[in-house]
Amino acid sequence: MVQINLPKNSEVIKGKYYQDKTGSKNIRKVNVYRWDPSTEENPRLDTYEVDMDNCPSKVLDILNKIKNEIDPTLAYRRSCAHGVCGSCAMNMGGKNGLACTHLMQKLMGI
């Protein structure tokens, strides 16, 4: 029988929690897997509360809002934002897709 051991730093830990400061009633929690290969730290899952009243509904738009207004350390690939180049391909809700064409409502089951 083969026994597989994962590296010590492979366990995903609870990350930072960014609470909404707008006071909006239309808040969605967005979990983002973060990992920096240049450090010895474990990957983490950061949680952001996003005011959906002032945000378009595409996943890429939400990530842009997080980067521009909540956490400027967030980094991800994007280029055309029109579903052509494929640079914003990522795993969202356990499935691969383009963040610029994927609706947040689809992820949330709304």
The pTM of this model reads 0.84
pLDDT of residue 90: 92
Non-local CB neighbours of 86 within 8 Å, separated by 6+ positions: 98
Domain boundaries, the chain: 8-108
pLDDT of residue 72: 96
Pairwise CA distance, residues 74 & 9, whole Å: 21
Spans of the chain, pLDDT less than 50: none
Classified by CATH at the fold level, domain 8-108 comes out as: Ubiquitin-like (UB roll) (3.10.20)
Pairwise CA distance, residues 44 & 39, whole Å: 12
pLDDT of residue 59: 93
Q: Is 24 exposed, middle or buried (0-12, 13-18, 19+ CB in 10 A)?
A: middle
pLDDT of residue 108: 67
pLDDT of residue 33: 93
Residue 93 in tokens? 């809700």
